[in-house]
Amino acid sequence: MPLLLAYLAFIGFALPDGAFGVAWPSLRDEFGLGQSALGMALAALAIGYVAASSTTGGAIRALGLGGLLCLSIGATALAALGQAAVGSWAGFLLLALLAGLGAGAVDAGMNSYAARHFSPRHMNWLHACYGIGVTVGPALLTAVIAAGLSWRLGYALIGAALAALALVFALSRRVWDGAVSPPGPPGLSVLRNRLVRRQMLLFYLYVGLELTLGQWSYALLHEARGAGTVLAGAGPTLFWAGVTGGRIGAGLLVGRLGADRLLAFAGLAVLPATALLLPPLPVLNVAALALCGLALAPIFPTLMARTPDRLGEAVALHAVGLQGAAGVVGAATLPWCAGVLAGWLGLGVVPFFALLLAIGVLALLLSLPR
């Protein structure tokens, strides 16, 4: 029962993450925004996420894990429903902050439980469930917009699904009671460890690359390269589908290949896949996005799984949280940088920016000790 609920939670809180990139052009035009404003929404999400994940231990002590999960999923539902109805950009940003708070609490709470109770294979598949949610989100928004309907309807449907999930967690909250003993506060002294800093930089670049491709691909294909709504929507949908499928496959393959070999293969595959986004050929670009998703997929969960072996249990206890925080900062800042560059130079600059990030990811992966 907890495993199934954990999978559902990761699917649920990922729905709005994937949907935002497809909704962005319509939302941007409705509120009269520039391209760089996308970074403001990502920053609001990141602030909420970091605030929630850094205080999850105390919240679990006060509410129990079941209570925290119920309230946090409810917060994501309220945020999505509010964004479907909000009339101003400032209001949208406030609700993005609420969405970040909810998602951060779900992510930290579930990972805390999973680290103690799930096998490495199930940890990979747990992150694959995030990929399912972040694949369904853009597919739903694409269908809504292609039908000539407002992006707001898509957000309302996502909010309704999250509200139903919150009800499921409310009814099953006792399943989680007493399951997790939260660790103490993070030890920032581990930042003196050079390998910790290197891995944090890797997570920063990796998550930034993943979100840059996921959030900007629709606008790149539709607005800069003339793809229709359905073809452009297939870009982020297939990208996140690749992430999902890759993580399911990684759960099966990591035992045979070994974690370090899998990471090296993934890093080497990311570079040519990203390079295929450079020529302005929408059909090729959509296929390249699917390949990017497959190549990137194993990196995040496999790096997390290898952290205790590389750093030792005592350091890893704190480093895992710092790596996640670095990834959230990358998710907020690097897609925003892509937006700033797109505002100056046009959307065609986004693939070149992504390629630079891919080079950084590969270089750092190859520099890690085996």
Mean residue pLDDT of the chain comes to 87
R_g (Cα) of the chain, nearest Å: 19
3-state secondary structure of 177: coil
pLDDT at 50 over 60: yes
pLDDT at 292 over 90: yes
pLDDT tens for 99-114 read 999 988 887 777 767 7
pLDDT at 88 over 90: yes
pLDDT band at 135 (very low <50, low <70, confident <90, very high): confident
Q: Which of 253, 263, 230, 225 is nearest to 363 (CA)?
A: 263
**Alpha-carbon distance 285 to 231, whole Å?**
10
CATH code of the region 191-370: 1.20.1250.20
**Alpha-carbon distance 30 to 24, whole Å?**
10
Domain segments of the chain as ranges: 1-185, 191-370
Instruction: Decide whether 1-185 matches 191-370 in CATH topology.
Output: yes
pLDDT at 105: 84
Q: CATH assignment of 1-185, given 3.10.20.600, 3.40.50.2300, 1.20.1250.20, 2.40.110.10?
A: 1.20.1250.20
Q: Bigger pLDDT: 291 or 196?
A: 291
**Alpha-carbon distance 281 to 301, whole Å?**
32
